[in-house]
Amino acid sequence: MKRSAKDTEESARGISRRALVVGVAQLGIIGALGIRMKSMQIEQADHFRLLAEENRINIRLIPPARGLIFDRNGLPIAANEQNYRVVMVREDAGDVGEVLERLTKIVPLDPEELARAMEEMQRRSPFVPVTIADRLTWDDVARVNINAPALPGISAEVGLSRMYPWGADMGHVVGYVGPVSDYDLSRIDDQDPLLQIPKFQIGKTGAENKLEHDLRGSAGTKRIEVNAIGRVMRELDRKEGTSGADVQLTIDARLQTYVQARLEGESAGAVVIDLENGDLRAVASAPTFDPNLFVRGISSKNWRDLNENIYRPLAAKAVQGTYPPGSTFKMVTALAALEDGKVTAEETIRCRGYVEVSGTRFHCWKRAGHGNVNLHESLKQSCDCYYYEIGQRVGIDKIAEMARKLGLGVRHELPLSAVAAGLAPDKAWKAEVRGEDWRIGDTVNASIGQGYVLASPLQLAVMTARIATGREITPRLVRAIDGVEQPSGLGPDQGINENHLRRIRESMSDVINNSRGTAYGSRITDETMRMAGKTGTSQVRRITAEERARGVINNADLPWERRDHALFVSFAPVENPKYAIALIVEHGGGGSAAAAPIARDIMLQALADGEPQLSAYPSNVRGKIEEQQRKIRERIPPGSKGLERA
């Protein structure tokens, strides 16, 4: 059928409209593509060129600055210093051996360090930078940069390395950092990518280890452009990480330095605690070690010297070492008996030099005995037989309960390595651990701090602090984190009868300030600083009946490792206690001779906030003290890190 002219005209107009719409749409699409192509080819050309060049844009982590550690007065005890190093990216180097051979001709490389770096590269992903050498000079770095075209995959960097300005004086407190090891990775559940960076340093011991989460910070990132041979062409952008938190400890660095100097030559541990807030002003162990040796990589000789020393310089004796507390435990037994009503302060008990229990003789240190003694005299003269008797009356469970109330047999949570719990044994403990019944002889031994009883100097300091104040003093090592004050260690009243505590304090005062006291020779003569305390001697060997019959061998005549431990605990001033101290001298002999004089000197240094006046010492020792102070000043020269440092 033939279409009319009108139909043909309308059909043509419809086709024209559709063609126009399609054409406009096509032009729009072509225009959009053109604009996009212009943007990509002109405006974003550099960006896509870099992406196209065989993925030569690398993203690398930027290690954050580790947080600093300060003492209570703001003196740095763990700081950061600039460190120039050379790193290699294996996938960019090509022939690794050839590149390293060229590098050895430019900068000095330790063969052992180089071997470790080669091993590290095999274990790490090929794109991870591995440190080849660090602690280089600026001249070394300049030579590496000049020869960069011949050293593909090699680049020089500047970073931060840990250093400890106070050296060995802070070794056991602050600890040290070291590279992350496979052992570290296996024992910590931490997905932080920083730990995958070769030679990234983390805390290994002490506060560095326990405060790792606060001190580490978080990583930053940087995008770098490298050319076909792996040479870094430029840094495209950078996002800085977050530095670790700064930590302020309660330690007084100047007092800590004095304590370490005073303990020099001994195998010993000492703790000074502030009774106002539980702050640990000094936590010292002797001998000690320089943590800087570990940061830089300790030599085999230095490690052997530390590890084979019979005085065990790596052991933190002040918090890690546990010892029979000896007669320093007698206040625990006395308070347990007083609180339980098994003895009164006025009651006298006869000491004839020994007590016989179940056919076994338990001897007093004074062979002839002390005669009739009450609580006051028993502490002043340290009569053992008095405590044998009251210990049997009150029983081990009550004694152990009082010990724990005073901080013994309890692990105090501190950011230090291997803080010991000690042991306040009772019947249940022996049944569970030893599978045996508790015997009356065990109670007799425990009543004077022997047998199964174990305590660290830290625990004995806490015990003394609680007796001096009647409050639940808790030791505190961290004063502030990033300026935020941490909770005080001054706890609530312990609920111990104040009259009983007063009797104990008066007796401890006479231990030192009465001419018949066991520590009278170590008294403080300045009335405003008078000290109260208790001596202790803990046996490390059994004295047989045969030896007693022919005469007990003097400690001085025994090999060092068989001599008794010497202990002393104290607080001062007597009228308004400010500090408590506990100290042990391993195999030092008697507490009155070996430990008490050191504790007195430390107490005076703390109370005077520096070198005390000679008039605070008994007149017969002032010459010796003057010489001692001179030697300590020589050991710590003014203007470095000495006692005069402000």
pLDDT confidence of residue 54: 47
C-alpha 503/C-alpha 516 separation (Å) is 17
Selecting among 327, 417, 509, 522, the annotated active-site residue is 327
Q: Could you report how far apart the first and last alpha carbons of the chain are, in Å? A: 116
Domains of the chain: 65-248 (3.90.1310.10), 253-621 (3.40.710.10)
pLDDT confidence of residue 10: 64
CA atoms within 13 A on the CB side of 553: 17
Q: What residue ranges of the chain have pLDDT lower than 70?
A: 1-15, 17-19, 21, 39-56, 198, 226-233, 541, 543-552, 557, 636-646
pTM: 0.84
pLDDT confidence of residue 284: 97
4-13 pLDDT, tens digit per residue, is: 666 666 666 6
97 closest CA partner among 117, 78, 79: 117
Which amino acid is residue 11, in one-letter code? S
pLDDT confidence of residue 643: 38
CA 447 to chain centre: 32
579 closest CA partner among 627, 531, 509, 645: 531
**Number of Cβ atoms within 10 Å of the Cβ of 338:** 23
Which pair of structure tokens corresponds to residue 478? 């961290």
Is 619 a residue of the active site?
Answer: no
pLDDT confidence of residue 205: 94
Which pair of structure tokens corresponds to residue 93? 């180097």
Kind of pairing between the strands at 177-179 and 280-286: unpaired
pLDDT confidence of residue 187: 78
Which pair of structure tokens corresponds to residue 418? 């291997």
526-545 pLDDT, tens digit per residue, is: 999 999 999 999 887 676 66
Distances (CA, A) of 273 to 276, 329, 335, 579, 602: 9, 18, 22, 6, 12
Using DSSP, how many helices (H) and how many strands (E) does the chain show?
24, 21
CA 347 to chain centre: 46
pLDDT confidence of residue 208: 97
Residue pair 236/223 in contact (Cβ under 8 Å)? The answer is: yes
